[in-house]
Amino acid sequence: MTFADEDHRFALVVADLICVNVDVVDRIRTAMRGVGVQSCWVAATHTHASPEAGCSPGGEATPRHVADRLEAATLVAVRSAMASERAARLDSARTLVPKLAGHRNIADPGPLDIPVDTIVVTAGTEVVGLVVVSPVHPTILPADNNQVSADLNGGIRRALSTPDRWVVVATGAAGDISTRHTRQGRGLDEVDRLGAWLADRVEPVSPRVGRGTPTPIRPPVSRTVALAPKQRAELEAAVRQAPPPKSQDDRIHRVLQQGLRIAEEQAARQRTEPYVIDVEAVDLDGITMVAVPGELFLELGETIRSAAAGQARDTVVLGYANGYLGYLPTRDTQPCYETYASPVTSGSGEIVVEAAVETAVEAVRNREQPRRISA
């Protein structure tokens, strides 16, 4: 979808891929400038039922055939979005959805209400579009599935779409959240059941009265962050803290061992130079979106939102956007699959959060005199 005023056009591209790497993001941004889009974000839904896109901790080169198809599809989509732009206002709503998902690598986790953010696009009094941000791994389909699918995000789209309303479903701070303990099956029926469960609880809000003139579209604010690679000593300390398996069929322990194998592969490379990422924020009609190129834990996404609350009216956090680093562990994260598979040292999550809050605050401060916008 595109957002525009007289001076600037911003596009948000959401692709049903497991990740997008920096190389294909740069390629799409270059192509976008040729059709009148000055700034652009590219985000992956993180569906695991997608073509391989170079998804590994730290990111890789995107396979050429995937990059070619993604660029071509993006240009078709953005031209369609630009052709249908109209005067619009944006509002946001937050819904706490029970029984949707939970902490995936905790045995017998307690109930968790999942915070789902919705950006509502209104033309006049009509809701014409929704951008839904779900902080849940879209991984209902089983590991032996060999068909391309948007998985949970697709189920949400289908449940919310109407002939007069388009829907984009992005993925937020989903690093440690999935339907592992809440799903009742692993097929498309369950994808649609949980998609409808969320949709029944997400109600588009009516436009607020007396909000004043729309704010302008400004270029996104960016912060470059350097994160230290995880060293073998940290890995060995984490292994010593790992809990023993509860049984031979302990799934969490099997997942932990999978993460350990990934960690060993990374340690063998003996990387010493930092991983460098860009954290970005953009203010859209008073709604601040933050883009993180990795897998934030839900608590970190919530920390960004609460820390920016003093400056930003509403903050919506996107994960898997504009690159892919992998999991971003905090200083207090206990050893788990995510900490093992992460390429960066513990405490990286807090560093990214600090940069994200700074970008969000600066994006809000960059507002100029109000101008009419379209979406």
Residues in the chain: 375
Strand 9-15 to 39-44 pairing: parallel
Do the beta carbons of residue 170 and residue 45 sit within 8 Å? yes
Could you tell me what percent of the chain has a pLDDT over 90? 72
Task: Evaluate if residue 245 carries a pLDDT over 70.
Answer: no
**Residue 10, phi then psi, degrees to nearest 5:** -115, 135
pLDDT band at 212 (very low <50, low <70, confident <90, very high): low
Q: pLDDT confidence of 252, banded at 50, 70, 90?
A: confident
Q: Is the Cα dihedral 263, 267, 272, 273 positive or negative?
A: negative
Whole-number Å distance between alpha carbons of 114 and 116: 6
Looking at the predicted structure, is the pLDDT value of residue 370 above 80? no
Tell me the C-alpha distance between 177 and 268, whole Å. Answer: 29
Task: Mark out the alpha helices in 108-246 (DSSP H runs).
Answer: 152-160, 188-199, 232-241
What integer pLDDT is reported at residue 333 of this predicted model?
84
366 pLDDT tier (thresholds 50, 70, 90): confident
Number of separate helices (H) and strands (E) present in the chain: 9, 13
Question: What is the value of pTM for the model shown?
Answer: 0.93
Q: What is the pLDDT of residue 343?
A: 93
pLDDT of 242 higher than 60: yes
pLDDT of amino acid 273: 94
Query: Is residue 135 over pLDDT 60?
Result: yes
More confident residue, 315 or 371: 315
pLDDT tens digits, one per residue of 268-322: 888 899 999 999 999 998 899 999 999 999 999 999 999 998 887 789 999 999 9
Percent of the chain exceeding pLDDT 70 equals: 93
Confidence of residue 209 (pLDDT cuts 50, 70, 90): low
